[in-house]
Structure formats: C-alpha cells, structure tokens
Amino acid sequence: MASKDRQRLLVDSLRRLVRRGAEAHLRRIVEKARSEDVASALTELPPRESHAVFAMLLADPERAAEVCAAWESSGLPELLGQFDAEELKPIFTELADDDAADILILLPEELRASILEALEDAESEPIEELLRYAEDTAGGIMSTDFFALDKELTAREAIVTLQENPDTEVVFYVYCVNEEGTLVGVLSLRQLLLVRPSTQLKEVMNSDVISVPVTMDQEEVAGIVARYDLLALPVVDEFNKLCGIVAVDDVIDVLREEATEDMMLMAGLGDTDAVLGTTAGAVRTRIPWLLAAVGGGLGAAFLIGSFEAQLAEAAILASFIPIVMGLGGNVGVQASTIVVRGIAMGQIDPSRAGQIMGAELRPAVVMALVCATVAGGAAFLIGGFDLRLAGAVATSLLTVMIFGATLGAAVPLISLRAGIDPAVATGPILTTSIDLIGVLLYFLIASAWLGL
C-alpha cells in the first residue's frame, strides 16, 4: 500500500473509532502505527478528535514523547495547551533534552514555566540551558546527550563505559576531553573497536577536531556538516568546552527549514505559519510585497505613457512589451535563484563577485541571443517584413535579458554585503527594477531603430 493511502486509512480509522468511543480498538491501531504516522494523522484530525487520541496516548508517556518528537507541522502547541503541566510532565521526562526545548519554546510562557517547575531539577536544568540559546544557532539545535570520555582512558575502559550507558543517543563518534572538560580529540566507533584494548584514547584520537561555537548560525552549521560529510558535529563554548552535538538528522531539519524560509521570503510570503494561518495574518504578510509590485507596475505604466507619441506612430511596439518584460524577469529570477541558493548552501564565496557574475552572464548571453533571434524573426513576419522593427525587438530583448541576468546575480551579492538577507531583498528589487528599467530600455532602443 502506498504511503499516502496508508496515511489516509489511519486518519479515517482514528476518526471513526474516536466517534464510536471504541478505545480498545483505538489503542491497538495507535500501537501498531509508527509514531511519525500518528503525529501526521493527528494534524489532520479535528481538534476534539486529536485531543481524544492524544489523551489516550498520555497513558504511555514514552510513546507520547515519540509522537511529539516526530511532529513536523504547526498545531502541537495548540494540542498540548489543552492539557495541564502535571499531565504533560511524564512526556517531557521521556523526551530528549533538545526535543523538549524545541517543543517548550513553542508553548505559551505560563505553560512552559509550569512544566519546567514540575520537572525535577536534574531534568529541567539541561532543558533550561538549551532554552537560553537562540533557536537558529548551534546551541539552539544541539543535543546535550553526547558521549565524551577522558583522553587518558584505554579503549577497553571506553567500550565498557559505553556499554554501561545504553540510554545515550546514537553514538557516531567518541569525543575526548581533558580534566577541565575541554574538547581535545575525536575518534570513530570503528577506530575504538579496532585498536588494542590497552591503547589510550589520546594515542589514537584525531586532535584536529572540527567544532562550532554555540552562537554559530544553524545554516552555517549545516554547511559545515555537508562540507565534511560528518554524522555529528561538536558544539563548544568560548573556552572550547564541549556543550553538545548537532547530529545529522538535526541538520536535515535545518536544511529543510532554511530552504522553505528562503523560498517563502523570495516570494514575499514570510514564514510558513503566517502563510497557512488566519486570513488577516496572510494578508498582513503578503500585502506589502504586492503593493511594491503595484508601485513598480504604475511606474512602468507611467513610462509607457511617456512614450505615447512613439506608440501612436508604431502601435505594433505595444505587442512586444509582454515578451520583453517576461523574458527579462524570467532570466533575472533564474540567476537570482542560483545565487541565493549558492549563498545559503555555502557554495558561493561573496568575495568572488566578479567570477560569480561572469558564470551567470555567459549562459544568459547565449540564451538572450537565441530568444532575441526567435523574437526578431517573429517581429519581422508580423510587422510586414520590416527589418527595423525586427532589429528593434531583437536588440531590446537581448539588452533587457542581459540586464535582468546581471541584476539577478548582483542583487543577492550586494544585499549580503549590506547585511540584508538576500532572500528577502532579491524578489521585490528584481521585479520592480526590471519592470521600470526594462520598459525604458525597450522604448529607447526601439525609438532609435525606428527613428521615432
């Protein structure tokens, strides 16, 4: 059965069983389903029914914690807000510290404080430590459940220690620290298992450890993990003391979040919650960008009106305005998308602006030549075999497309240097500039060709 069909069947089954009050059957269905599927199904159920299923899950705090950790969309704060701190306490006891912190930050402040107060000090302290870091930093996404050993231990002692700590999260690497807790080395589990049991960790560890500070932006952290193909990345404080690790699954979440955020910002839509939220929220988020587009369109209309005399003499020029503006905008969007993505993924070095511009302009020139030739040929036929009209359309299209590609590549780089998020600035600047300057270039070039 396909994944979507299985998910739809689970949602329908949960809804039917809740309405019938068949708790025993409901429990069996939930027990057999994966936690990720249950979390996804709860987001599709009406509030009353999702509350009933989750209330049943509270009887098994470990499973309820798995469902909360697997939750990928909005709606969890509203669901948890229907329960009190004492009911939710067992869940947060079972959750990993980083997952607990991620969920708590979404809850109303009063409920968050009540849950932390209900937890034992040993449980709440690491969570509160994580809550002190900004959400989009290495400290905000790291897990404090890592495996670190004294560098003086032998391989045999390290393996025994690992076996005595089965609750530790998946261990990819063994981090070595000195007596002050400072990170001094790392070795993989494979290395640990292959060396002689009497070998001290300091003899086989790699002292050149790739680590990041707790304040580093999560996007940069993801770039480092991707660049060095790491399964986990240690996070250190200003004294190089090991604070936590960022695992590869956390990085995947970051990459997805950042890609979604950049896509939304480039479209002028803000964050996903605002887009999928209330009507008022959606309007408030989108209207500024639409008004900016209105301003650009009115400016273009004013420019076109200023060339009224030329249009009166050669009305056919108006027929080619959409293709010139459309292709100029399209090639600009293509260039800006590539550059913004390259910046976000750390694949583009902003200091090499000239090289980046050249890399984008070369294909843009070739594409512009092809499109200009086709459009010029069409203008020649439509305009009654008028070579001047064909030349005007081809030359203006070539110029506007090259201008669009140049602007599309340049705006993200200039925005980054100015300290502005390229994803935010590129869309409105690119659209408005091509509308205004593209129209101006088109009529100036056409007027020169046609002697208007």
Question: pLDDT digit string (tens) for 142-177?
Answer: 988 788 899 999 999 999 988 887 666 656 888 999
Residue 74 scores a pLDDT above 80: no
DSSP-based three-state secondary structure for 75: coil
User: Comparing 113-127, 138-152, 301-315, which segment has the lowest mean pLDDT?
Assistant: 301-315
Q: What domains are defined for the chain?
A: 3-132 (1.25.60.10), 148-248 (3.10.580.10), 272-450 (1.10.357.20)
Q: Residue 201 has what pLDDT? A: 94
CA 448, CA 392: separation in Å to the nearest integer? 8
Residue 351 scores a pLDDT above 80: no
Residue 427 or 44, more confident: 44
pLDDT band with cut points at 50, 70 and 90 for residue 234: very high
Burial class (CB in 10 A: 0-12, 13-18, 19+), 340: buried
- pTM across the whole model: 0.62
Residue 398 scores a pLDDT above 90: yes
Residue 378 or 450, more confident: 378
Distance of CA 291 to the CA centre of its chain: 26
Burial 401-429 (b: 16+ CB within 10 A, else e): bbbbbbbbbbbbbbbbeeeebbbbbbbbb
Q: Residue 6 has what pLDDT? A: 79
Q: Residue 136 has what pLDDT? A: 85
Residue 319 scores a pLDDT above 80: yes
Residue 275 scores a pLDDT above 50: no
For 184, the token pair is 């001094």
CB 409 within 8 A of CB 339: yes
Q: Residue 267 has what pLDDT? A: 57
Per-residue pLDDT of 410-438, as tens digits, reads: 888 888 787 776 766 676 677 778 878 88
pLDDT band with cut points at 50, 70 and 90 for residue 216: very high
Task: Tell me the pLDDT of the chain averaged across its residues.
Answer: 84
Residue 274 scores a pLDDT above 50: no
φ/ψ of residue 399, rounded to 5: -65, -45
Burial 173-187 (b: 16+ CB within 10 A, else e): bbbbbeeeeebbbbb
Q: Residue 436 has what pLDDT? A: 85
CB 310 within 8 A of CB 396: no
Q: Residue 409 has what pLDDT? A: 87
Residue 276 scores a pLDDT above 60: no
Give me the percent of the chain exceeding a pLDDT of 90.
29
Q: Residue 250 has what pLDDT? A: 83
User: Comparing 21-30, 214-223, 340-349, which segment has the lowest mean pLDDT?
Assistant: 340-349
Q: Residue 264 has what pLDDT? A: 62
Residue 52 scores a pLDDT above 80: yes
Q: Residue 419 has what pLDDT? A: 74
pLDDT band with cut points at 50, 70 and 90 for residue 245: very high
Residue 351 or 42, more confident: 42
Q: Residue 335 has what pLDDT? A: 86
